[in-house]
Chains A and B, each alone.
Chain A
Amino acid sequence: MNQPDFEQAMRTLAAQAVSPVPLPDVDLIWQRAAVRERRRQAELVLRPVRLAEWLACVVCAAAGVALLLTLDPAVLRLAGMAFSIAAGVALALVRTLTADE
């Protein structure tokens, strides 16, 4: 077995462990953490608004589907379909916008 080679290899790696390239700036890391925390707080404040938007879209979509099912005339049926599609798209958009990173 080449045990000495292994041990020497690990010693070589250990000797090369610390890079001469300067570390990322500590203040920059602290600031990035602060910015992320502020953004998280802002998202928390906006959460009820997002929920209301989401509920409004669900209601619109449900209404559209109900309209489509209950109304007989072809034109109204088309209008209901368009309405449902629009609500569905809005719902998808809101979900995308409110999705976590």
Chain B
Amino acid sequence: MEPMSREGFAAFYQQTAPRLRGYLARLAADADLADDLLQEAYIRLIHAAPVEEAERRAYLYRTATNLAFDHFRRARREQTGLRFWKLRQPVAAAPRDPATGVQRIFALLNPRERALLWLAYVEEASHAEIAAALGCGEKSVRVLLFRARRRMEALLARHNIKGGEKP
């Protein structure tokens, strides 16, 4: 199998990057971080052993999801360290895109729930595709997705979000 050419990569990027950035932006709840993760995912795709064209998208989503989860784990460790040494937490920069009502509610879910719901209801991915992206079994996806949906419904009700936005 041939490695990806620059032109082939550019075409694949234009085709997939807008949706992947949307996914990462909601998963990370931070547009700048999403752009960093996006670039890293594509760099890893270029470096990966030649991936079948049909597999590229799945590879990309799996890599991007893993990068995002690694980032969350690292951030949690850093925060634990800062708390342990009683150091001041860094002040977060103002978000580039202020979140809307639904986006704020979505950000209250944990990263795995956000990934599940996004892939299932926005990307309309199959359970097999979601399982591949999140590295879990197909049967687990069904259960986890049900729980994530219930949690999102409860949050929408608690924050009185009607019809997708605040009344």
Contacts and interface: CB of A to CB of B under 8 A. Distances in A.
Contact of B31 (A2, A21, A29): A21
Contacts, number: 101
B157 A5 contact: yes
A1 interface: yes
B153 A19 contact: no
B100 A17 contact: no
Q: How large is the interface on A (under 10, 10 to 19, 20 to 34, 35 or more residues)?
A: 20 to 34
Interface residues of B, number: 42
Contact of A16 (B17, B42, B100): B100
A18 B18 contact: yes
B164 A5 contact: yes
Contacts of A7: 121
Interface string B54-92: 000000000000000000000000000000000000000
Interface stretch (A31-39, A64-72, A82-90): A31-39
A75 interface: no
Given A3-B153, A13-B122, A19-B21, A8 B163 contact: yes
Contact of A33 (B43, B117, B118): B43
8 contacts: A12-B102, A13-B26, A13-B121, A17-B26, A26-B10, A26-B13, A32-B43, A33-B46
Given A9-B106, A21-B96, 19 more contacts: A1-B153, A5-B162, A5-B164, A12-B164, A13-B106, A13-B118, A13-B121, A19-B22, A23-B17, A24-B38, A26-B14, A29-B42, A30-B10, A30-B46, A32-B43, A33-B42, A33-B46, A36-B43, A37-B47
